[in-house]
Structure 1
Amino acid sequence: MIVINNFEEYKAHEGKVLGVSDWHKIDQEQINRFADATLDHQWIHTDEQRAKTEGPFNSTIAHGYLTLSLIPYLWKQIADVRNVKMEINYGIENFKFGQAVPVNGEVQLQATVKSITNLRGTVKAIINAKLLIKDQAKPAYQGDVIFLYHFN
């Protein structure tokens, strides 16, 4: 894990891969809980038998938005940004889903610091996030997440 204490330390990582998270297994229970929370019970995610017989993946798959929602959890395994009064999830840009994550698939976040800008005391960090799937060449997605930090 990388520790970042201020703008200057963050800026030193610009253009570099910051690191990767641990592997996280997405099981059917997590998929079902996400379906309940989002009211998205599409059969390809929740109906194991139908997905196995009728679906293109021979199993259920994680919701794309479930995989996106893992970014904060996985990001905290890569970077420990300290000395902040406030951290804001500001936006996401240019995300493309490349491959579905099957039930019981394991995913890992790879984070690259695309740019760091000091906007009169607010630090804007654009992080390229790539969600890797264990034993797969193509990522589940890739795109940019934007964080705003107010350092002490």
Structure 2
Amino acid sequence: MIEVKLEELSEHTGTLVSHSPWLTITQDMIEAFADATGDHQWIHVDVERAKRESPWKSPIAHGYLTVSLISRLNPQALKVTGPTATINYGLNKLRFPSAIKSGSDIRSKVELLDVAQVDEHRTLATYRTTIEIKGEDKPACVAENLAMYVA
């Protein structure tokens, strides 16, 4: 993990890169997400059918489960000290180049793209977060995500 003071964050634009620890995507996580969202498509929750019929020969994680894990993984890769709150401000870009098979290990790679002072209390940081899959060439997700730091 990298730790950076908020007032020094802009000095690292274009150079700051950090990785979270690996996280295993379990079938229980996939099914809990399906229950929370109502997305019970068989490629996610029907293990036996997915093994037989899906192109991945395994159930796969929902794309939006992957995106939601950015808020879990990125703070394990990068800690910005100083703000009283950090707010998920949204996404500029989002792509899912590859699926995550149930049981796979993933991690986030965080790159600082830009830092902008919004006003005297708020700083907006733009990151490129790449969700990597252990042993795979293509990432599961590439997102340009925004974090608003409130001082």
Is the TM value for this pair above 0.5?
yes
Q: Tell me, in whole angstroms, the C-alpha distance in 2 between the residues paired with 1:85 and 1:108.
A: 26
Q: Tell me, in whole angstroms, the C-alpha distance in 2 between the residues paired with 1:105 and 1:17.
A: 26
Matched residues, number? 150
| CA root-mean-square deviation | 1.0
Q: Tell me, in whole angstroms, the C-alpha distance in 2 between the residues paired with 1:29 and 1:119.
A: 40
Identity of aligned residues (%): 36
Deviations 1:94-114 (CA, angstroms, capped at 9, x unpaired) = 111100000101111000000
1:6 offset after TM fit, Å?
2.2
The 5 A counterparts of 1:16-55 are 16-55=15-54
Partner secondary structure for residue 84 of structure 2: strand
Q: Tell me, in whole angstroms, the C-alpha distance in 2 between the residues paired with 1:23 and 1:129.
A: 14
**More deviation, 12-21/44-53:** 12-21
TM-score (norm 1): 0.95
1:64 offset after TM fit, Å?
0.5
Partner secondary structure for residue 98 of structure 1: coil
Consecutive unaligned residues of structure 2, counting only runs of 5 or more, are none
Deviations 1:31-66 (CA, angstroms, capped at 9, x unpaired) = 111111111111000000111111111010000011
1:19 offset after TM fit, Å?
0.3
The 5 A counterparts of 1:1-20 are 1-7=1-7, 9-20=8-19
TM-score (norm 2): 0.95
Consecutive unaligned residues of structure 1, counting only runs of 5 or more, are none
